Structure 1
Amino acid sequence: MRADLGARGRVDWLLRMPPEVERAHERDFGPARIRHLRHAIIVGLIVYNIYNLTSLHLMGDIQPFTVAMRLFLLTPGSILIFLLVSRLPAAWREVLLLQGMFTASLLPLYLVYISQSPYASYTLGELPLVLLFGNMLLVLRFRWALIFTTVTCLTALWVIHIKPGLDENLIFPLTVQVITGLFFTLYGNWHFERQRCLTYLAQYDAENRADRAERIGDALRDLTRTDTLTGIANRRHLEETLDGWLKSRPSVLLMMVDVDHFKAYNDRLGHLAGDDCLRRIAAALSAFAARHEGFAARYGGEEFTLLFAVDSETGGAFLADRLVRTIRDCAIPHPGRPDGLVHVTVSAGYAGADRDRDALTLVTRADLALYEAKSAGRNRSKAG
């Protein structure tokens, strides 16, 4: 109920939806609309030309002219519209339909007006069918249906009341027929168009809510897979990625990285500075991983893990040594190191899953290699 009320509030009295919704509707239903119009145009053209037979009896004095108008004016025009409806933008397509319907409705009125046949007025019986075709079969957009119906009916009333020689006893019945035809066909068009707009707006809103919920879900999922301090992947995301890589990639290199003497850094500069240091290192590791089509995550504390789809024997030492050098080149000051160095460095241990596809074993091997790198003096890498 609330969705329906919201939809109603976004359709004006001419049954126009917001521009972005109109574009979405055309994207979703434009092809179906074109197919429907083409079928309706063919049917309408066939039926319209059948009236050449009735004009033979009702307007015999201008029969050649009526046939010529239908065959050489209205028929080519209808075929042109048939060809153009799929090539024009939606707005121009609907305006073109309006012009075609004006030709279909005003031409018979003109023929009635110029005919001197005493039976010509009976041709006005075609008018409600023309209104029915435009408003209910073609289903002109309501704003155009309103213009089409009003102009056609006013023209018909003008012909009825000024045509010379028209039986006065027919004026009132014909006027009633024109007005009731206007009302019923225009009301039918309004009802159909209103339901189309309200239904699509409700669908559009439901899809938007679903998309928004999906985006929120994605954002929440990303939050659960992102380290809040550094902004890179967290351990949970690492475990998911590692499992996927081990199943799908022939070679996986896992690298454990630890910040050297990080406790001394925190003790000397404070935890806020330590957090900022971790963020800078995480950014450098993430960029390094991206350059080599890898993956970087914070494993915990001052420890990070990187994954690369390379063979450990051919690419492990190269990547590990370059990574250690990359962090050293960041030149982050470290005033509290006991080994005399003045910049932050990292130690790295790496292991390859070329044959061993067990995640825990791979992490353990890389972690032991990291321990060896730290025991050997830090600021270096070791293979596991």
Structure 2
Amino acid sequence: MRRHSESSTGDQPHRSTLDRLLRFDRYTEERYEAEHGMERVAQLRDAVNFGILLYILHGISKIILYPDSYLIVLPVLLFVIVPFAVYFHKYVSVLDYKTREMLVFGGVVLATILPIYMVYDSQYAYISYMNIDVLICIIFGNVLIALRFKHAFFYTLVSLVFSVVAIVTSSVIEPNLKTAFSFQFTTVAILCLYSNYLFERRRCLDYCVSLEAVLRAEAAETSEKQFQVLSKTDALTGLPNRRFLDEQLDEWVVDSRSAVVMMIDIDHFKLFNDTLGHPAGDECLRVIADAFSEAFSQPDLFCARFGGEEFTLAVRDAEEMQARRLASSVVTAIQALQIPHPGRNDGMDIVTISVGVALKPKNVTTTREAVLSQADEALYLAKRRGRNCFVINDEACESQIQVNS
């Protein structure tokens, strides 16, 4: 039997599997444990408490049937079963799921050893005829404890084999009853194991169905997020695009924090394309975008492609001095790339940029259009001043006043 569910995490979808022993694959098991582990711990604690009570009651019944049996019943109860239960209660919540389930398996096996021994030992003649403790242990392990099926299978099989061997080799059970007792034990063992299988199969299949639904929802959410990222990313450069820029600036310009917006233009880019071709122009844009991405990608600092050969750099909580240092580093960073520009006729033979800087002071609200317009005016003045430089928008305003006067 195999059940699959898919996850779109990564390039390859995850496939949840369930084998013939009802074992999940590692990913599914760990996910199930993360979601339901504490429920399992609580269920096991309650079951162990009930099991101790059953063990005490049947210990009393043994002592009533055979008073001398207290010599073995009480020591096993006091020095094996109770210490195990105390240890289990104390540490079960901190054990990993594999160790926890193996510990449960071991505890059920321990509880079954004494009843099987008392079926075999000739000194417990009456008990061997009436002993149903082995069957109770098998029922307890398969149904109440609900051993994981792989453990239930081996526990039930081993318990049945040793019980039948104890019956067949017993010197006190009448020969004509040995076959009947063996069939009784076998019938109960099969019934209990099948009940465990049905319960565990339903648990596992229900989880596979729910996990598949969750993984599909997660895949859809991931796809939606990826789509949103792609819709705000420039395909050529990998930088945020104009849509992202507009959304961010719309938020930044209306709050009380200061902000700096820079319009960046590649100098003589048309001549670059005309001389080297558009593929070379695209590669130039990618190189410059990578430089921006590596140097100017921090919290509250990003660079976006505005369009064509223009980029926009925006930063929060920066005043004029920080803006000047940042603008200077932007100009220097691109010049340091030493990208050849054979088409220039102004004495430069490498790619450079011009930068216009707009300032939004603290506690001043404005609009995205106004800030971009101020940065664009400053960029225009930087071009007039010979390119490969930056201009603050206050300087651009002073220049405009002088021209108008």
Using the size of structure 2 for normalisation, the TM-score is: 0.87
**What letter corresponds to residue 257 of structure 1 in structure 2?**
I
Partner of 2:398: none
Runs of 4+ aligned structure 1 residues displaced above 6 Å come to: none
Shift of 1:202: 2.4
Determine which of 1, 4, 9 is the counterpart of 1:6. Answer: 4
Shift of 1:350: 1.0
Tell me, in whole angstroms, the C-alpha distance in 1 between the residues paired with 2:124 and 2:304. 92
Say which is worse superposed, 46-55 or 23-32, in terms of deviation.
Answer: 23-32
Identity of aligned residues (%): 37
**Equivalences for 1:1-384 in 2 at 5 Å?**
6=4, 10-114=17-121, 116-168=123-175, 170-247=177-254, 250-290=257-297, 294-354=301-361, 355-384=364-393
Tell me, in whole angstroms, the C-alpha distance in 2 between the residues paired with 1:131 and 1:104. 10
Shift of 1:176: 3.5
SS at match of 1:255: strand
Shift of 1:315: 2.0
Provide closer, same or farther for how the CA distance between residues 154 and 329 of structure 1 changes in structure 2, counting only shifts above 3 A: closer
Say which is worse superposed, 79-88 or 342-351, in terms of deviation.
Answer: 79-88
Q: Is the 8 A contact 2:254 2:365 kept in 1?
A: no
Tell me, in whole angstroms, the C-alpha distance in 1 between the residues paired with 2:248 and 2:16. 47
Shift of 1:246: 3.1
**What letter corresponds to residue 364 of structure 1 in structure 2?**
S
Say which is worse superposed, 360-369 or 167-176, in terms of deviation.
Answer: 167-176
Q: Is the 8 A contact 1:298 1:304 kept in 2?
A: yes
Provide closer, same or farther for how the CA distance between residues 320 and 69 of structure 1 changes in structure 2, counting only shifts above 3 A: closer
Tell me, in whole angstroms, the C-alpha distance in 1 between the residues paired with 2:109 and 2:336. 78
Partner of 2:401: none
Shift of 1:79: 2.5
CA offsets 1:179-218 (integer angstroms, 9 cap, x no match): 2210111011111111122122223333333222222222
Tell me, in whole angstroms, the C-alpha distance in 1 between the residues paired with 2:349 and 2:63. 107
What is the total number of aligned residue pairs between the two structures? Answer: 381
Q: Is the 8 A contact 2:271 2:344 kept in 1?
A: yes
Shift of 1:170: 4.2
| CA-atom RMSD in angstroms | 2.3
Unaligned runs of 5+ in 2: 6-14, 394-405
Shift of 1:247: 4.7
Using the size of structure 1 for normalisation, the TM-score is: 0.91
Tell me, in whole angstroms, the C-alpha distance in 2 between the residues paired with 1:140 and 1:41. 12
Tell me, in whole angstroms, the C-alpha distance in 1 between the residues paired with 2:299 and 2:188. 74
Q: Is the 8 A contact 2:118 2:124 kept in 1?
A: no
**What letter corresponds to residue 70 of structure 1 in structure 2?**
L
Say which is worse superposed, 160-169 or 233-242, in terms of deviation.
Answer: 160-169
